Amino acid sequence: MSQTNPPPVATEEAPSDIAVSVRNVSKNYGDVEALKDLTLDFPRGELTSLLGPSGCGKTTLLKIIAGLLKPTSGEVEISGKPITGPGPDRAFVFQDFALLPWATVLRNVAFGLELRGVAKSEREAIAEKYINNVGLSGFEHSYPHELSGGMRQRVGLARALSVDADVLLMDEPFSAVDEQTRRKFQEDLLTLVHEENKTFIFVTHSIEEAVYVSDQIAILLPRPSRVLEVIRPSGFRNKSADSIRRDPEYLDIVDNIWASLRSYVE
């Protein structure tokens, strides 16, 4: 497969307030290099998407930031402090929901707070707030098997929000739902980013989704992964959710990213 230099995509300088800083991170699995000297900053209070071909190391990078994997070399800092493992400053939204099948929605959402020793009345009040925020009021006492896939994913998101972590790590959270539900999730995510003032790191395979929801997009090269470029869509970010997909700048950025990636896609 031939590789050509991709066309440039307009970028905007990132804000100086950095929540997560990845510096020269490499990750090897035996003889396989998944990441190589990868450096990337994640601005505080924004959503950054990790976008790239399958197998390019997006989930590996996310797990290193979460503290679930140790890098072979390099380091990751959260608010200027090196991470040494999982911590309360980060919460993970898994692709496969990772819910407790024997627990109600309320118990699932409150579970992280329960592990931290928060009193039952307090943690349930917090859980109910976020259950309402993700549109699941009335399902507090339902069990995961009684919910649709989209509803289970909302439970996972509410659980991550309820622990009040500074950084939310989302590994393709909408990939298992139908297109209509996915679009509604994307709109809801834009609202949450605006209201929660947290730092979201979002893995996706979808160019359209990345451009739609992101303040910043990091395009990763195939293994061993490095950052090809960082894009900061700006002109349409203050528009309504309904009008973003029709905005000429949105459409141009989607086309330019595909032009950048197509020679790397098998």
Domain that holds residue 44: 1-6+17-87+167-176+186-266
Residues 226 and 190 in one domain: yes
CA distance linking residue 60 with residue 218, whole number of Å: 14
Question: Is 30 a residue whose pLDDT tops 90?
Answer: no
Interhelix angle 105-115/120-133, rounded to 10 degrees, is 130
- 31 assigned to some structural domain: yes
Residues 116 and 60 in one domain: no
CATH number of the domain within which 68 lies = 3.40.50.300
Residues 256 and 193 in one domain: yes
Residues 172 and 60 in one domain: yes
User: Taking the mean position of all CA atoms in its chain, how far away is CA 52?
Assistant: 14
Residues 127 and 225 in one domain: no
pLDDT, position 14? 58
Residues 99 and 136 in one domain: yes
Residues 83 and 212 in one domain: yes
Residues 172 and 224 in one domain: yes
The count of domains in the chain is: 2
pLDDT, position 53? 82
Give pTM, 2 decimals. 0.85
Instruction: Report the SS3 class of residue 118.
Output: coil
> In terms of DSSP H, where are the helices of the chain?
58-66, 105-115, 120-133, 149-162, 179-196, 207-213, 241-244, 248-261
Report yes or no: 157 and 144 within 8 Å, Cβ to Cβ.
no
Residues 71 and 197 in one domain: yes
Summarize pLDDT for 124-183 with one digit per residue, the tens. 999 999 998 888 899 999 999 999 888 888 898 889 888 888 999 998 877 767 788 888
Summarize pLDDT for 63-92 with one digit per residue, the tens. 999 999 999 999 999 988 999 899 889 988
- 257 assigned to some structural domain: yes
Instruction: Report the SS3 class of residue 72.
Output: coil
**pLDDT category, 16, cuts 50, 70, 90?**
low
pLDDT, position 2? 41
Residues 195 and 224 in one domain: yes
Report yes or no: 76 and 27 within 8 Å, Cβ to Cβ.
no
- 76 assigned to some structural domain: yes
pLDDT, position 4? 46
Residues 117 and 221 in one domain: no
Question: Is 202 a residue whose pLDDT tops 80?
Answer: yes
Residues 71 and 171 in one domain: yes
